[in-house]
Amino acid sequence: MMWQRFKRTPILTADQREICFNYNGPFNSSPFPIFRLSPLGLVFGKYSGKPRLILDLSWPHDENNTSSINDLIDKDECSMTYSTIDQAIHTVLKTGPKAFLCKCDIASAFKLLPIRPSLVPFYGCHWNDQLYFFVRHPFGGRSSPRIFDCLSQALEWILLNKYHVQYCQHLLDDFLTVDCSEQESLRTTL
């Protein structure tokens, strides 16, 4: 992935809806007595090339006296075990040659989850001489994947136990279902 920092760009103004939904601001000065600002950046998707706005919560990098926001989040509490392609292949082989597969993606996954209000002051950024504070989990936070995975685990459990989907596996915001019949796969895709 390619990383790019920016100071002035039309990317934020291009989608005012995203600004209203994901940030508080703009502010000329912080509404919070104690706050933290981190740099913004773009990461381009490996396959899609689509730019994603990143809040660099690992900044400052390699400074002895200053911890980043990510430094203050316990790594052990955010560790995860991801599902593997081998698990999916095993299920497809077990299901047989008439397996029906469905792949789904939850768009803008982290942005669905609100940040705890008491933590919003620590998710700030400076752009175009204004201050903004994230109110939804940004890309770039150490805890964002783990927090979102709790939602994905719940969704997977619901699909398996309440909708009786035969097989479901997720990798963060990507879901794979495998069904034995076309009838079951049609239900899964709805």
The dihedral through the CA atoms of 108, 112, 117, 119 has a sign that is negative
* Per-residue pLDDT, 106: 86
User: What does the alpha-carbon distance between residue 170 and residue 160 come to, in Å, rounded to a whole number?
Assistant: 12
Kind and range of the H or E element at 156? Answer: helix 144-161
DSSP code of residue 61 = T
Contact (CB, 8 A) for 136 and 21: yes
The dihedral through the CA atoms of 105, 108, 110, 112 has a sign that is negative
* Per-residue pLDDT, 121: 97
- pLDDT tens for the 190 residues of the chain, in order: 344 444 444 444 444 545 556 788 889 999 999 999 999 888 877 777 777 788 899 888 777 778 889 999 999 998 888 889 999 999 899 988 888 888 888 887 878 889 999 999 999 998 888 899 999 988 888 999 899 999 999 999 998 999 888 889 998 889 999 888 777 776 666 5
* Per-residue pLDDT, 190: 55
* Per-residue pLDDT, 110: 78
* Per-residue pLDDT, 21: 63
